[in-house]
Amino acid sequence: MTKLHRRTFVLGGLATAGAVALSGRSAQAAAPFPFKLGVASGEPDSSSVVLWTRLAPTPTNADGQGGMANADVAVDWQVSTSDSFSSLVASGTVTAHYADAHSVHVVAGGLQPDAEYYYRFRAQGFLSPVGRTRTAPATGTFGTDLKMAFASCANYENGYYTAYRRMAEDRPDLILHLGDYIYEGGAGSGVRQHLGAEIVSLADYRRRYAQYKSDPDLQAAHAIAPWLVVPDDHEVENNYANMVRADNSPALTAAQFAARRTAAYKAYYENMPLRPAQAPSGNSIPLYRRVRWGQLATFHMLDTRQFRDDQANGDGWKVSTAADDVNRTLTGAAQEAWLLDGLGQHLGTWDILGQQVFFARQFDASGAANMDAWDGYRASRSRIQTGWVNRAVRNPLVLTGDVHASWANNLKQDYANSNSAVIGTELVCTSITSGGDGSAATAIPNAATNPHLKFYSNRRGYVLTTVGRTQVRADFRSVAKVTEHDAAVSTAKSFVILDGQPGLQAL
C-alpha cells in the first residue's frame, strides 16, 4: 500500500497524493478524481467526531453538482491512530446522495477521549486526502491543554488564504469559524474573482462553496483539526436579519427571500462538518448548541442572525432609544434562556461564547449605536451579562468575528462607567482576507469613549489560543499582505486571561 504521509496530505499536495486506490491498485485513468474539495472533521465529543467530504470531480460546474452523475455513490471511510492506517479503530460505508450534492457526514463513534486520529475516504476507486482530527476529553477530566484557533470573514475576491495555511502550520487541536465562510456577491475587481453573479439559488450556493473549498490553503486548515462553525450574514446575504433583508429592499418578496434562505442553509449544511442534529428544516437551521471539552471548557455556539428582531438601515448605524432597545433581541428569547441555563450549569472552567458580532460597546463619537452588533441590543446584552454575574460564572470569554480587525476587550458591568467592574473578556479575530491587506494601524478607534477596548490591529489573520486550567493565552496572529501569496505570519500582540480574574493581562 502506498504510505500516506501526514505532511503530504495535511499541508499540501492534496489532490495529487490522494489519487491512490485503497487496495493498492491504480485508479482507472478514465475516472476523474472525486475528492477535489478535500476533507474535514468537526463537532468532536469525547467518543466521536463528524467526518466530512463531498464528491466533486469538476467542482465549479454551474449546476452545483460538481460534475457528478444523477446517481448515489457508496463512500467508504476509515479512522486510525496512525497516518499510515496500519490498523483501523473505526470504518464503514456511507451513501453520498445526488440530492445532497454528494456530500457525506459520518459520525465516527467508539473513539477514545482526548485522542488524536487520522481519517480518509474511498470512492470510485480513489482515496481521499488524509485528515487529522481529535476527540474531546472525557466528562470530568481536563485532558491536555487545548490549542485552539479561531477565524472569520474570508472573502475570496479580497485576497489569498495565506492565514488559513499559517493556521494549519500552527497545528491547533480545534478551529472555530465564526462566520462569513463565503461571500454572496457576484464577480468584482479583487485579486481573485467570484464565479457568476450574486448567488441566490441552491446551485449558486453550492458552486460558491465549491469555489472556496477548492482553495488548497483552506483545505489544509480543514485537514489539520476538527472545526466548530457558525455562520454570520454573508452565508445568506449581507446584514440580513430574521426573515428580512437588511435594506428592506423590494427586490425580493418575503417568500423569495425565504426560498433564498432555504437554499443557503441547505448548502451550508452540505459543506460543513456538522452533526445530523444541525440539518436544516426549510428556511431555518438549528445551529446554537453546546460542545463540551471535558472539565476544561464549554463552547456555547450562538446564532445571532436567525432570531434577531431588528435590522440595520443604511450603513448600519442609528441612534438607539431606550424604549426601542429594551424590546429588541439579538438571540431571541429561547436562545437567551438556553444560554443562561447552560452558563449556570458550570460545566467547565472556561465558558466560551463562540459568536458573530462585536460584543463590547463600540458606539461612535455621536453616541449612535451599531444595529448590526450587540451595541444596538444593549438590553439583550445586559440580560446576558447580568445573568452570568448572578450565576457566578467564573470565566466568561466571548469570541467574536465580523469586524475585519483584531480587538481585545474587557467586558464591563456598566459600559457608561469607566470604573465599573470587569466581568468578562472578549477576543475578536480579524478577517482571513475581507478588507484586503489592511494597514499597520493600531490606534484604538473611539478610545476616549471606550476605555475598556485594550487592543486593535487592522491586519488580516486569526487568533491562536491555548486554553489551560489556570489561564487562557491569546496570540493575535497576522500577515502583512493577503493580496500576494505566501506572506509570513507574526504575532502582533499576546494576552493572558487568568482563571477567576476576568479581563486582559498583556504580555
Query: What pLDDT does residue 418 have?
Result: 84
CA atoms within 13 A on the CB side of 127: 25
Domain segments of the chain as ranges: 287-507
Q: Are 457 and 405 in contact (CB under 8 A)?
A: yes
The pLDDT score that the predictor gives to residue 34 is 98
Q: How high is the pLDDT of residue 139?
A: 95
| Predicted local distance difference test score (pLDDT) of residue 250 | 57
- Per-residue pLDDT at 155 exceeds 80: yes
pLDDT of residue 256: 86
Q: Which cell numbers hold the place of 377?
A: 441590543
313 pLDDT higher than 60: no
Q: What does each C-alpha distance from 472 to 177, 213, 401, 425, 454 come to in angstroms? A: 19, 31, 18, 11, 17
Q: What is the pLDDT of residue 64?
A: 98
Cα–Cα distance measured from residue 206 to residue 195, given in angstroms and rounded to the nearest whole number: 12
Half-sphere exposure of 222 (CA within 13 A, CB side): 29
Which is higher by pLDDT, 149 or 16? 149
Low-confidence winner among 213-222, 315-324, 432-441, 490-499 (lowest mean pLDDT): 315-324
Query: Distance between CA atoms of 215 and 207, rounded to whole angstroms?
Result: 13
Average pLDDT of the residues in 362-366: 68
Q: Which fold has domain 287-507?
A: Purple Acid Phosphatase; chain A, domain 2 (3.60.21)
pLDDT at 23 over 50: no
pLDDT digit string, tens, across residues 318-338: 445 555 567 788 999 999 999
How many Cα atoms are found within 13 Å in the side-chain-facing hemisphere of 306? 23
pLDDT at position 321 is 55
- 158-206 pLDDT, tens per residue? 999 999 999 999 999 999 999 999 999 999 989 999 999 999 999 999 9
Task: Give me the pLDDT at residue 107, please.
Answer: 98
The predicted structure's pLDDT at residue 12? 41
Residue located via cell numbers 482507472 = 28
Mean pLDDT of 270-286: 97
Helix, strand, coil % in the chain, rounded to nearest 5: 20, 30, 50
Per-residue confidence (pLDDT) for residue 308, from 0 to 100: 87
pLDDT at 25 over 50: no
Closest by Cα among 266, 269, 241 to 254: 241
Cell triple for residue 312?
440595520
Confidence of residue 21 (pLDDT cuts 50, 70, 90): very low
- pLDDT reading at 22 higher than 80: no
Confidence (pLDDT) at 447: 87
274 pLDDT tier (thresholds 50, 70, 90): very high
Q: What is the pLDDT of residue 369?
A: 78
Adjacency order of strands within the sheet including 422-428: 289-293, 297-301, 350-354, 396-400, 422-428, 406-412, 453-457
- Please give the model's pTM, rounded to 2 decimal places: 0.93
pLDDT above 70 covers a percentage of the chain that reads 88
Q: How far apart are CA 483 and CA 462, in angstroms?
A: 17
pLDDT digits (tens, 9 = 90+) for 454-463: 999 999 999 9
Quick one: 16 exposed, middle or buried, by C-beta within 10 A (0-12, 13-18, 19+)? Answer: exposed
Cell 437588511 -> residue: 246
- For 350, residues 6+ apart whose C-beta sits below 8 A from its C-beta are 296, 297, 298, 395, 397, 467, 472
**pLDDT category of residue 310 using cuts at 50, 70 and 90:** low
Of 94, 101, 97, the C-alpha closest to 79 is 94
Cell (9 digits) for 139:
466528562
**Cα 192 from Cα 214, distance rounded (Å):** 13
Question: Whole-angstrom Cα distance, residue 503 to residue 471?
Answer: 11
pLDDT in tens, 39-56: 999 999 999 999 999 999
Query: What pLDDT score was predicted for residue 285?
Result: 97
What's the CA gap between 117 and 133, in Å, rounded? Answer: 5
Task: Compute the average pLDDT of residues 397-401.
Answer: 98
Which of 423, 485, 426, 493 shows the shortest CA–CA distance to 458? 493
pLDDT of residue 153: 98
pLDDT tens by residue, 375-392: 888 889 999 999 999 999
Q: What is the mean pLDDT of residues 11-33?
A: 50
10, pLDDT greater than 80: no
Three-state secondary structure along 360-412? Answer: CCCCCCCCCEECCCHHHCHHHHHHHHHHHHHCCCCCEEEEECCCCCEEEEEEE
Residue 472 has a pLDDT of 98
Range 50-67 average pLDDT: 98
Task: Report percent pLDDT > 90 for the chain.
Answer: 79
Structure confidence at residue 97 (pLDDT): 98
Grid cell at residue 278: 444541525
